Amino acid sequence: MSLIKTEEEIEKMKKSGALLSYALQAVVDAVAPSVKMSQLDDIARQAIEAGGGKPSFLGYKGGGGVPFPATLCVSVNEEVVHGVGSRNIELKEGDIVGLDIGCVLDGMFTDMAVTVPVGSISKERMDLLRVTRQSMYSGIEAIKVGGLISDIGAAVEDAIDTKKYGIVQALVGHGVGHSVHEKPQIPNYRSNSFPIVKIQKGMCLAIEPMVTLGTHEIETADDEWTVVTKDKSGAAHFEVTIVVTESGAEIITPQPKIRI
């Protein structure tokens, strides 16, 4: 798998990204109190398949032995990411719900996520959503040909008050295109623990900060997928797929319209 995508591959990814954005908007529009996670999962799958794509998360094994059993990751409140979307759990007024979705179209993968309010939410949770989303855009603005992948994490961290919020460290952004997850890994904080990678034109990257109202520590639930905050504090997750261009970065999975 090449870190650099060809012009033809990028055009295919743009089509994949447009389909994915359409599907996620359909899911976001359906979010409301009393709606079940499984209903959102059905909407996601139908929208992707109607557009000629395939859900890339469904059946994905990742590093474990349990295939992911849903199209959509639905993560509520203290669930950071990878919540199983096929659960028959109803959303409640005041919840915040992360919606993470991926698809493959014409052999090319795209990935995106958003966290949205369910009805009216507290100011604390609304601020968390806004800070997390802005940190994602700050990371994108740091992308320049000839720069370093680590510049992205530094920009994300600088956009977050780390005295008030925790930045999840055990999970990172990544390359995308030929598969669900590719190199390079993209931390959302400053670190010397990752390889030094130069940003090049044609790279396709998933930028995805995960921020909590508590500490950065996380753990995995018994289903072997759902990642939760260790201190049970609320969490938010935003993600887009971008392609590196001569002038910076182009978002190819536009974020859905949400109420924040």
Q: How far is CA 87 from the centre of its chain?
A: 19
Residue type for position 75: S
List the binding residues for a divalent metal cation: 100, 111, 174, 208, 239
Residues 6+ apart with CB under 8 A from 117: 95, 96, 125, 126, 129, 259, 260
List the binding residues for substrate: 82, 181
- d(CA 164, CA 161) in angstroms, rounded, equals 5
Residues 6+ apart with CB under 8 A from 241: 13, 17, 20, 110, 111, 112, 176, 204, 205, 206, 251, 252, 253
Contact at 8 Å (CB) between 138 and 161? Answer: no
Q: CA angle at residue 20 from 19 to 26, to 5 degrees?
A: 95
Which residues on neighbouring strands pair with residue 148, listed in sequence order?
198
List the binding residues: 82, 100, 111, 174, 181, 208, 239
- d(CA 166, CA 225) in angstroms, rounded, equals 21
